[in-house]
Structure formats: structure tokens, C-alpha cells
Amino acid sequence: MIDQVRAHPHQVTIVTAGPLTNVAGAARKDPEFASLAKGIVIGGANLYQLHPGETDPAFNSSEGFNFRFDPEAAHIVLTAGWKKVTALVDVTSSVMFDDAMMARIKANKTPASDYVAKAGYVGYPIWDETTTEVAVDPGLIRQRIPLRMDVDITEGPDYGATRVWAEGDSPGLGEAKVQYVQAVDNKRDADTFVDSTRATR
């Protein structure tokens, strides 16, 4: 990642769909890594209490596996100084990989569709695919709000919890300015995933 960001400054978007350990390692190894990237799209930061249309993150905390798995890494990444940070998780559960989607994918009859037909989990949302699609095509986003975000790394029951504040209300300790995605175009999301399996190489 460091090599690509340095070879193509301000052109590479980092996309995460799991714990942020490797991205945090890159940020620690190269202090300019984050600032040289175009931005980062994070599949993390579950904010279950904040629904589309709500803009006040007064609850200030919630769960999230990708952050809870390695809270220190998430904290390092969120305070690394990115030019643009987009975060989403809750919304990635809005499109299910159902039998109809599987049938459409199988009909493509390509190596990619054959792989997804064998490895895909019907009955589960397309979490990582939605995260990646938003990174490639931000036009999929239908609703977003600006937040300041960090992760609780203090010992106790909130260790690893996502912390968010409205702009101007955060502690001012390097919390990332994040565009938090609340809604996407579900039909386009599903169609883009299906279309991606038409690739022959």
C-alpha cells in the first residue's frame, strides 16, 4: 500500500472491509502514508442508533466488529490525517444476497460468476461488496452526514466502541472528519455486484 500511494500520490483510495491492523501498520511505518492517499473508505463504525434522517450523534458510542477486533489500529487509522474519510457499515446490510441475485449471477456463466456461485453466502448482506462499490462509485450514496469519529481505547466495557460527535463538539484530539453513509441506492448496489461477475478475466 505504501509503495502504491507513494508511486501515485493523491490518486489511491484505501478500502477496508475488516479490522484495520494492516492500514495502521502502514500509517505507523510511513507518517506520510495517509496524507499522500486520495482518501480511505472504511467498512466499520456501526452506529445502530443513528438512522437515515437523524443528524445528532448524541448517543456517542456503539458496537462494530472491525473496530472491536483491533481498537488501537482503528484509533491510529482514524487519527492519521487523511484528506477524505468515508465510513459505512449499517447501510451495507440493506442489500441481501438472496436466491434471485444468485440466479442472476449464475446466468452470467463466467469464471467470476462461477466463483461467486460456489463461495457466496445466500441469506447474508453484501457487506464488503457495498463498501467497495461506494469507494469506486460515490454516486451510489443517497444520504450521508459529517461526523467526527474515533475509537475508545480505554480499558473497560466500551473498549473498541465507535465514538462520534457532531462537527464542533469533539474533544479536538485528532478525531477524523468523516462522511458517514446512511443510505445507498439499493438497486444500483445489487446490480453493480451482479454486473461485476460478468468479467471474463
In the chain, the domains with their CATH numbers are: 2-97+125-185 (3.90.245.10)
* Residue 61 pLDDT grade (very low, low, confident, very high; cuts 50, 70, 90): very low
Residue 201 has pLDDT above 90, yes or no: no
Distance CA(76)–CA(71), nearest Å, equals 9
Distance CA(115)–CA(105), nearest Å, equals 10
Residue 95 has pLDDT above 70, yes or no: yes
**pLDDT above 90: percentage of residues in the chain:** 73
* Residue 170 pLDDT grade (very low, low, confident, very high; cuts 50, 70, 90): confident
Residue 145 CB partners (closer than 8 Å, separation 6+): 55, 179, 180, 182
pLDDT at position 133: 96
| Residue spans of beta strands (DSSP E) within the chain | 13-16, 39-43, 85-88, 96-97, 124-125, 141-151, 162-165, 176-184
Mean pLDDT (the chain) is 89
pTM across the whole model = 0.88
Query: In this structure, what C-alpha cell is assigned to residue 184?
Result: 445507498
**pLDDT above 70: percentage of residues in the chain:** 90
Q: 96 near 124, Cβ under 8 Å?
A: yes
Residue 168 has pLDDT above 50, yes or no: yes
Q: 37 near 26, Cβ under 8 Å?
A: no
* Residue 176 pLDDT grade (very low, low, confident, very high; cuts 50, 70, 90): very high
* Chain segment 28-57, per-residue pLDDT in tens: 999 999 999 999 999 987 665 554 455 454
Distance CA(162)–CA(44), nearest Å, equals 9
